[in-house]
A and B are shown apart, each in its own frame.
Chain A
Amino acid sequence: MTNAKVLRSSFMLVILAILITLTACGGNKGNNSSSSASSPAASSASSEAASEAPKEKVTLRIASAYTPDHTFGPAIAQIIDEFTKQHPEVTVEKEFLPVAELDKKLTADRAANNLPEIFIIFPGAGTADYVKEKKIIDLSEYLNADPDWKDGFISGALDNLKFEGFPGIYAAPIGAYSTGFYYNKELFQQAGVEPPKTWDDLLAVIGKLNAAKITPMAIGASESWRSEHLFTALFYKWNGAEKAKGILSRALPYSSPEVIEPLNKMVQLVEAGAFSKNYIANNYAAEIADFNNGKAAMRYSGSWTVGESTGPNSPAGFGDKVGFFPFPYFADKEEHKDSWMGGVSDSFAVSSRAEGHQKDMAIELVKTLTSTASSKLITEMAHDLTAVKADVDPAKSGKLIAEVSKAMSTGKEFSGDISAFEPYKPANTKLYDLTQAVLLKGITPEKAAKQLDDEVAKSK
């Protein structure tokens, strides 16, 4: 054998090896997809077989935002601990991350076909993809089999987890929220102002607070979901919640006055001096800190604020100084006075990858997490609303949440983030970026609306 021949044969060997690894990768992919596409009948048959057999050891991965810092965190940890005591064969692996990180993690897991057995989803267009791709299972069969569980949810909550064209209920909600203004009663007194009812009242309050050298509002504007929430509330108060469906159906282009006017109102707030000088630098944590330390008189936020301002991480006694009023309405749009940003939020979905006893246990854990007993524990520990009815002890949950619940009962329609109505992902991302840019006065409402329409035009 000549030198060249040896070289050539070793080269061929290397190429062969590369080809083998590449085909191995491809083959693996094929296996994955065939296993995930296995018929539901087959998987339910295997689950029956498994439940008769002695309990096999299973591992459940659960992904959520319930880190120890989250208001729900301590209660959820306690519920899971008790669950694993009752089901010793189950090992629960918590994949808990802050919301923004969680979203990225789930996107990656979804791409890699490696979704956890249980994970948090939010109602809206983004979640519909999970349903379309059959990544999560329909829970209605299990809900119907257990009326106690099904009837535990607050009225209408499960409707949020139905998706057009796909019969069934695709997750069990735990989080519920309403949004409005939380204010510091002491600072309001100092400036001699009362909680405003209309938008003009709010602007007058801002003026008086400024005159008293008190920063009117805290906002974590460096995080774009803050501006998206503000825009959502303004949109509903201006148009009513029903109008948002026009975004989904494309009947309502972004350049229409219905969208531009609420954006203009955001600019109006900035120009009225509602925020501190460096509001654009503040993140969400700074928003909480500024309000809790009495550096700002108001926050527009969700009911989770109650936990943030009365819970263990807030200054002692501060919770008693906090009051609540609904988002002010526009005097010439009084018909939308009771349209609120709120509804169901965090919901537990079960991955279609779970099989046999693992699947049974996943459903059991979701059932436990969304039981009325768990809801009571969460409400009392987190001082927050949930999507499940519970016999809550007001002495434990605090006065503020009761005040919020009372105000909330005047609401006639509740709808979540407006971004949930934007099904095209790039436009959805832009919606966040651009509401933030408008709030930072980096772009005019008209230009922002045009950019959004341009992005939508790119979708097929």
Chain B
Amino acid sequence: MDRLKSRHLQIAMFLLPALLFYAVLLVYPVLRTFFLSLHEWNGFAGSKVEYVAFDNFKLVFEDEIFWKSLKNVMVVMLLSIAIQIPAGLFLALLLNGKWKGIRFFKAAFFMPVIMSATSISLLWKFILYPGDGLVDGLLMKMGLEDSIRAWLADPSINLYTVILICCWQGLGVVMIIFLSGLVSIPDAIKEAALIDGANRRQRLWFVTLPLIREAVAINVILLVIGTLKIFDNIYVLTDGGPNHATDVLGTFLYKEAFRNNRFGMASAIAVVMFLLGFVLTLVANRAMRRESLDG
């Protein structure tokens, strides 16, 4: 009995540091965010924290920039899904064969994922630099000066530029998840389809796709969560500007907290983001599960 007791104590002691970090760095800030969302605070140590009930949420919902940011997030989310799912699947299908150099390509396509968003964004900023950047330079060399646009500054296109860059960076994850799905399809099923005389398209449509539904579901949920809290790429690429053209909930929150010193309102935005993420994940999960049960 004593041995068991000391063993439990031992386990508890080993778990303690991790649990402490978890509590101090995650649980406490999350609870504090909920607390602050009902208070007004300018973020300065020692200044007053005043209870204001739901005033912060009212401020958020009355703010045009909130709705603009929300719309932008939705555009980013939908386009990311629309681009990354087919593109990721395409790459995965290409890389699911057994040909030379396949490992190199897997690594190459995955590379942007492990690079920091800041480096990627700065890299693209240079590529798209007005006038002297790679893109504008190429267009000029090809005699297409007229199609040069202010890629990151023109409010009518810059959100799409940002989305393409984010998709480029995130594609690797989608591809790897699809690849793992493809690998798990038993050879017997594929052979059976082949013997039954199914052609390439039929095999893809009626065999492969239904069997990697789980992978599609995981990818969609990851993209929904990932795009909802998107911040770093946009912060570096456009800083949400000009005039909030590319603001998303993350940059809106950041600006309210650190530029306008409204930490209460910023916390309210965080709570809204949390609820939105919770609901969307639930919906996506349900929809996907139902589909896989039906199928």
Q: Which residues of A contact B (CB under 8 A)?
A: 1, 3, 6-7, 10, 13-14, 17-18, 21-22, 29, 32-33, 36, 104, 107-108, 110-113, 133, 221-222, 224, 278, 280-282, 286, 425-426, 429, 433-434, 436-437, 440, 442-443, 451, 458
Contact = CB atoms under 8 A, between A and B. Distances in A.
A433 B20 contact: no
B8 interface: yes
Contact of A3 (B4, B256, B262): B4
A254 to B, nearest CB: 16
B12 A14 contact: yes
Contact of A281 (B11, B44, B130): B130
B19 to A, nearest CB: 6
Contact of B255 (A29, A222, A429, A442): A429
Given A222-B241, A426-B256, A429-B255, 17 more contacts: A1-B1, A3-B8, A14-B12, A22-B24, A33-B46, A107-B259, A111-B44, A280-B242, A281-B150, A281-B154, A425-B260, A425-B261, A433-B243, A434-B243, A436-B242, A440-B155, A442-B242
A433 B5 contact: no
Given A1-B1, A111-B44, A442 B155 contact: yes
Interface in B37-93: 43-47, 59, 64
A18 B20 contact: yes
Contacts of A22: 24, 28
A185 to B, nearest CB: 24
B12 A10 contact: yes
Contact of B5 (A1, A224, A281): A1
Nearest to A434: B243
Interface of B: 1, 4-5, 8-9, 11-12, 15-16, 19-20, 23-24, 28, 43-47, 59, 64, 130-131, 148-155, 241-245, 255-256, 258-262
Nearest to B44: A111
A95 B47 CA distance: 26
28 contacts: A1-B1, A3-B4, A6-B4, A6-B9, A14-B12, A17-B20, A18-B19, A18-B23, A22-B28, A33-B45, A33-B46, A107-B258, A108-B258, A133-B44, A222-B152, A222-B153, A222-B242, A224-B241, A224-B242, A278-B149, A281-B130, A282-B130, A425-B261, A425-B262, A436-B242, A436-B243, A442-B245, A451-B64
Contacts of A36: 46
Q: Helix, strand, loop or mixed for chain B's interface? A: loop
A254 B284 CA distance: 46
A22 B256 CA distance: 27
B150 A278 contact: yes
B234 to A, nearest CB: 15
Given A14-B16, A29-B45, A437 B8 contact: no
A11 to B, nearest CB: 8
A285 B154 CA distance: 18
